[in-house]
Amino acid sequence: MADMNNINYALCKALFFSIVFLLSAVAASAGDLTENLPSNLMELSIEQLMDIEVPTIYGASKYEQKVVDAPSSVSIITASEIKKYGYRTLADILRSVRGLYVTYDRNYNFLGIRGFNRPGDYNSRILLLLDGHRLNDNVYDQAELGTGFPLDIDLIDRIEIIRGPSSSLYGTSAFFGVINVISREGKDMKGVEAAASGGSQDTYSGRLSYGNKHQSGLEMLVSGSRYASEGARQLYYPEFDAPATNNGIAAHADDDKSYSIFSKFSFKDLTLTGAYGSREKGIPTGSFGTDFNDPRNRTTDAHGYIDLKYVRKLENKTELTARIYYDNYKYRGDYIYSRTNPGDPPVLNKDDGFGEWVGGELLFSRRFLEKHLFTAGVEGRYNVHQDQRNYDESPFINYLDDTRNSKNYALYMQDEYHIIPSLIANIGARYDQYESFGGTVNPRLALIYKLFEKSIFKLLYGEAFRAPNVYESFYSDGGSMSKPNPDLNPEKIRTYELVYEQYLGEHFRTSLSGFVYRISNLITQQIDPADGLIVYKNVENIEAKGGEVEIEGKWANGLQGRISYVLQEVKDQDSGSLLTNSPHHLAKLNLSFPVVMKKLFAGAELQYTGSRKTLAGQSAGDFITANLTLFSQNLMKGMEVSASVFNLFDRSYSDPGAEEHLQDIIKQDGRTFRIKLMYRF
């Protein structure tokens, strides 16, 4: 088996360097591929180049701006890339992005960024938005990246990944960055779409959507999706290798089922959006001390919201945006535990979380004196319910019944000041007030300098905070596994970053950045040596440094690719030890090229993740995975077909476990495949 893994690893390396060579060779001979581009493009100014090559972004400043003017390091993933690389979930998409990595414990997906991905954190240090609406819930601050994400991947127009602290605009959770998912418009669909897919592990999905813009001015998009997977039929965990636990084999315990509904209606200045997603997942790992190989162990998460947004462009280059919303979140965990006496039936433990909140935001922006774009806003949220329960069903024993409500509000301002045509200063700050710990101020400063026509430098500084959530502060299961800590304080991050972006010729863009960040009062999941219980504490101060480099190329015929490398080091300042689940190295390569012009494309990607320290002080080894997709369009009018193979060379690799796992590392899927069909009526 070791020899086979070495062979697969060598094949991955060979494919990696072959694609690099292919990308270089194609770039060198790209003259034949650019017949439709202007011959004098090299003579255009940077502003004219932006009209052709540089996309715009909304989430970095809460208004549309070109990415070279954004006060952050930005990546954008488009709908075209999602199709050509065969991405199945938001986690798949983010895994392909420079500097990001995903850990999967066979229940939830956890996002790592700039070497930080802590056990027990449900993505609470990344703010996830859908069309600007906050998706992190008010109990766990969880950002759902897997099959529970409430928008079908087919309905994504683009994704904005904004690195660095953004509490100056967004408040809590915008700690390491913001991910803003932009949905498609109804006018782009122009009718009915139906999609279906099938693949490994008895996985099937379906979607039915309608979108259009009517003569009355009403624009609408309505969609429903369903997903079901049996998961891996058998998973072997040596930690449970005993006759009483099925010799370490979890059989038929990895199932995953979800559905989502999404609608968006726009008329003149008003947009009404509604979304709901529900997901039920089997837990094959025996986490939290539950009975191993019992298919009744599972979690269910559901999140829905309604959002009404008003955008009005006024005279004197003024814009007013108002938003009100309602959210509802439910979590249910079913956990099976054996009794002390072997002959007694097992206990079903119920673990519930319920969140309900309403809020609103008012945003004003105006350009004045031709050099200033000033933005000011006020935001408030009332958490109607932040409830947690834990109990045994029969006989009924109540361990936790914690009901809470809270409110917070914020004021923020930002000014984009064009000092001279080649130099922009972006200055902003936000004040947040919480009932639990009081107020906090978080600034962001940026200097953006266009040294030459196609060279952009960004000098960035930002601060952000993350408020302790009610799960970290108040959760307890009666003292069997965990206990509360109501005295938690917010954690704070300060980040310094230098970004250099260069446009090369007609097709290439390069990005080089270096960053340093420091975290104080980090909230960390620990085992209390006094009683052996899991508890969250403010105990660590973190220091990190790293560098990122990326080269991206695009051509008019559909050929495109990008390659990136990240070197980073994240340490505990007090002990000097490296953080767990923090790889030193990340490398990624994506290449999509036309096989049959405008009809058939091949998309290949390679992802290298360096070794990571585990909680037991061991190492989850480094690995390379390869994915390959064939995507066709216009072979038949209105039809798109794709076929994908993931982990092409069946590479064996594992992710680090968390405190609730007996496993130090958790093995991931081998080779899988998917075939997908979409038809537009």
Q: Give the E-state strand segments of 127-216 in sequence order.
A: 127-130, 133-134, 156-163, 177-183, 191-199, 203-213
Helix (H, G, I), strand (E, B) or coil at 6: helix
pTM score, whole prediction = 0.91
Q: Domain 2-680 falls in which CATH fold?
A: Maltoporin; Chain A (2.40.170)
Terminal-to-terminal C-alpha distance of the chain: 49
Which residues pair with residue 415 across a beta bridge? 374, 427
Q: How many residues does the chain have?
A: 681
- According to DSSP, residue 61 is labeled T
Q: Inform me whether the pLDDT recorded for 27 exceeds 60.
A: no
Contact between residue 516 and residue 52 where contact means Cβ atoms under 8 Å apart: no
Phi then psi dihedrals of residue 643, to 5 deg: -135, 130
Measured distance CA(506)–CA(40) in Å, rounded = 10
Q: For 84-98, how does the pLDDT look when each residue is reduced to its tens digit (9 = 90+)?
A: 999 999 999 999 999
Phi then psi dihedrals of residue 82, to 5 deg: -60, -40
Measured distance CA(238)–CA(676) in Å, rounded = 36
Query: Burial code of 513-550, b = ≥16 C-beta within 10 A, e = fewer?
Result: bebebebebbbbbbeeeeeebbbbbbebbbebbbebbb
Q: For 200-238, how does the pLDDT look when each residue is reduced to its tens digit (9 = 90+)?
A: 999 999 999 999 999 999 999 999 999 999 999 999 999
State residue 53's pLDDT score: 57
Helix (H, G, I), strand (E, B) or coil at 393: coil
Q: For 525-577, how does the pLDDT look when each residue is reduced to its tens digit (9 = 90+)?
A: 888 888 888 899 998 899 999 999 999 999 988 899 999 999 999 999 988 99
Measured distance CA(161)–CA(96) in Å, rounded = 12
| Residue 17 pLDDT grade (very low, low, confident, very high; cuts 50, 70, 90) | very low
Listed residue (557, 658, 649) closest to 607, CA to CA:
649
Q: For 627-665, how does the pLDDT look when each residue is reduced to its tens digit (9 = 90+)?
A: 999 999 988 888 999 999 999 999 999 999 998 999 999
Q: Inform me whether the pLDDT recorded for 25 exceeds 60.
A: no
Angle (CA) 359-432-116 rounded to 5° is 100
Q: How far is CA 446 from CA 165, 167, 176, 178, in A?
A: 12, 14, 16, 17
Q: Where are the domains of the chain?
A: 2-680
Q: For 568-590, how does the pLDDT look when each residue is reduced to its tens digit (9 = 90+)?
A: 999 999 889 999 999 999 999 99
